[in-house]
Amino acid sequence: MKTFNPIKRGYLALEEWLNISFGGELNPLYHLGTLTFFFFWIVLISGIYLFIFFDTSLSGAYNSVEYLTNEQWYLGGVMRSLHRYASDAAILTILLHMFREFALDRYRGFRWFSWLTGVPTLWFVVTLGITGYWLVWDELGLYVAVLSAQLMDALPIVSGSMARNFLEGQLTDRFFTLMGFLHLLGQPVLLIFALWIHVKRLSHVEISAPRGLALGSFIALMALSLYMPAESHAPADLGKVPATLNIDWFYLNIYPLLDHWSAGNVWILSIGVTMFLMIMPWLPPKKTGHAAVVHLDECNGCGQCADDCPFDAITMRQRTDEARWEYEVVVDDKLCAACGICVGSCHSSNIFRYKNKTLDTGIDMPQFPVDEVRQKTAEVISGIEGDTKILILGCDHAYDVKQINEPGIGIMTLFCSGMTPPSLVEYALKNGVDGVLLTGCRNGDCFYRYGNIWMDKRLDGDRKPVLRERADKSRIEVFRAAETDGKKLTQKIDEFKQHLILLNKEDAATTADNGTDGGAS
């Protein structure tokens, strides 16, 4: 029985509401990472256009931005607004992505590296936005520059003269050009490198948002840009204290604290929050199961498991034994998520092999090997009672199917739905069940990223190993259910049972007709 987690339950309820509103394929909460990349593309393209007309000097910066905003409002002004709002949207999707990983407990264990490297990436994005406000060189830009200088002066590695430069009017065009270089080239390069590190331990990384979601997001940003265009404050003036500043809370949230706290205290808060976020995967740590093991005697080096691994834990190398195959697979224990997807990928996991002896496969999970899966399945099937027998193959990270206690139902769970060999489904149908219902994480939301995707493709014959054509697909049902989807799953089971009853009647009628025809002849 899974422990009750109100944060997770609440988040799953929100996802379900958005599934109803947008559909599972376009639910923005399933595509927060790709949406962030999409917003970065908008920021990049709009930023390049703005740079063409931007004057990187103290005297010309403000006027060049005002020209784009007012004189060229139909394009330059729209580009500026898109640049601003896409930058805010990127921060929003990053924060939602972090909260989602926390709420669904996808930040600990084998995922610690992605979380740990993601926190500094947020810093890179925020500092990139901060330097962007400098470049406008209006009252808000001056406010940000002066307070940023105070923060820098509080660091022991800085001489303590940056803020004095602003107060004494010692800024030059060269310094301003340097800030332009940092914002336009230096910081983006660091951000790209940080993003590469962040996804380094993942395979099949998607960076393109679904077309419909990307188009809808762009239309929303465009509408916001036209309805509420980004505007500058008055020009920067060291001799004037601005009466009102419109703070961008996505990027400038710590600056108002400097009106009440010292720069040192603001640094303590910022660094403290950052360090707390970075050590969260170990508060407490989450144990990962035993890594997959390779049995070279059963491995032909096809590489399907390496291609299917969501976390890049399996690689190929030259064969080290005397087998006739050219390659073998190697599992990196430190990267393995113990999801078992590789077991479902292995051609040697055919449940019909070695009927009278131990079923060994090319790659296996030591804590739940394929041979034990076959034995357990046979035991479950033999214990099902009733006229209509259904085997439910569940997933450890979705709805807890062990809660289902109905006659005619047998329950089997695997680490991930992607661990299911297609032959296991056929095996169940050939050994006494009327139908097999496979469940797991919601579509687009697999705990192990690609488990349900690979399983669907195998059942559809689009990815090896495939479900053989001889298997009766009319007796196979797939219905995904998260922890909060118990009622929906129960309803689907009832519908599937009625479907099987009808099929059984049709088969019985066909058998009777064939028998009658045979007797008459």
Q: Which residue has the higher pLDDT, 430 or 356?
A: 430
Asked which of 282, 311, 335 is the last residue of a domain, the reply is 282
Residue 68 lies in a domain: yes
* Per-residue model confidence (pLDDT) at position 67: 96
The answer to whether residue 482 sits within a structural domain is yes
Strand 476-478, strand 409-414: pairing = unpaired
* Residues 220 and 330 placed together within one structural domain of the fold: no
Confidence check: pLDDT of 518 > 60: no
Q: Are residues 179 and 46 in the same domain?
A: yes
> What's the mean per-residue pLDDT of the chain?
93
Q: Does some domain include residue 233?
A: yes
Task: Tell me: do 274 and 125 sit in the same domain.
Answer: yes
Mean pLDDT of 321-350: 95
- Residue 368 confidence (pLDDT) above 80: yes
Sign of the CA dihedral running 335, 341, 346, 348? positive
% residues pLDDT > 90 (the chain) = 83
Q: pLDDT tens-digit profile of 215-243?
A: 999 999 999 999 999 999 999 987 787 87
DSSP code string of 56-88:
-STTTHHHHHHIIIIITIIIIIHHHHHHHHHHH
% of the chain exceeding 70 in pLDDT:
96
Burial class (CB in 10 A: 0-12, 13-18, 19+), 469: exposed
CATH of the domain at 46: 1.20.810.10
Q: What pLDDT score was predicted for residue 521?
A: 42
Domain assignment present for 155:
yes
In a domain, 433, yes or no: yes
- Given 251, 282, 313, which residue is the final one in a domain? 282
If asked whether residues 243 and 303 sit together in one domain, one would say no
Taking only the tens place, the pLDDT of each residue in 431-446 is 999 999 999 999 989 9
Residues 6+ apart with CB under 8 A from 433: 381, 384, 389, 390, 391, 410
Beta strands 293-294 and 363-364, pairing class = antiparallel
SS3 315: strand
**Per-residue pLDDT, 520:** 46
Query: What would the two tokens of residue 408 be?
Result: 């005619």
Distances in Å between the Cα of 102 and the Cα atoms of 79, 95, 106, 488 are: 34, 11, 6, 25
| In a shared domain, residues 275 and 351 | no
Within the chain, how many helices (H) and strands (E) appear?
17, 8
- Answer yes or no: is pLDDT of 168 > 80: no
Domain count, the chain: 2
**Residue 35 sits in the same domain as residue 117:** yes
Instruction: Specify the DSSP element, H or E, that contains 46.
Output: helix 32-53
Residue 103 neighbours by CB under 8 Å, 6+ apart = 7, 8, 10, 11
Same domain, 233 and 304: no
The whole-number average pLDDT for the span 35-59 is 94
pLDDT of residue 167: 53
Closest listed residue to residue 110, CA positions, set 29, 202, 5, 3: 202
The residue-averaged pLDDT of 204-213 equals 95
Residue 13 domain flag: no
Q: Is the model's pLDDT at 176 over the cut of 90?
A: no
489: left (phi over 0), alpha (psi -120 to 50) or beta: alpha
Could you tell me if 189 and 117 lie in one domain?
yes
Domain edge (last residue) among 233, 258, 282: 282
Residue 342: domain span: 293-510
Residue 267 lies inside a defined structural domain of this protein: yes
Determine the 3-state secondary structure of 410 from DSSP: strand
52-73: average pLDDT = 93
Shared domain check, 334 and 199: no
Please indicate, yes or no, whether residues 434 and 455 belong to a single structural domain of this protein: yes
Question: Does 19 fall in a domain?
Answer: no
pLDDT, position 322: 85
Is residue 250 located within the same domain as residue 311? no
Do 348 and 250 belong to one domain? Answer: no
Summarize the confidence of residues 478-491 as an average pLDDT: 96
- Using CA atoms, how far residue 502 sits from 32, 384, 432, 475, 512, in Å, is 43, 19, 17, 11, 15
Q: For the residues 315-329, what does the mean pLDDT come to?
A: 92
Does residue 506 register a pLDDT over 70?
yes
Beta strands in 209-269 (DSSP E): none
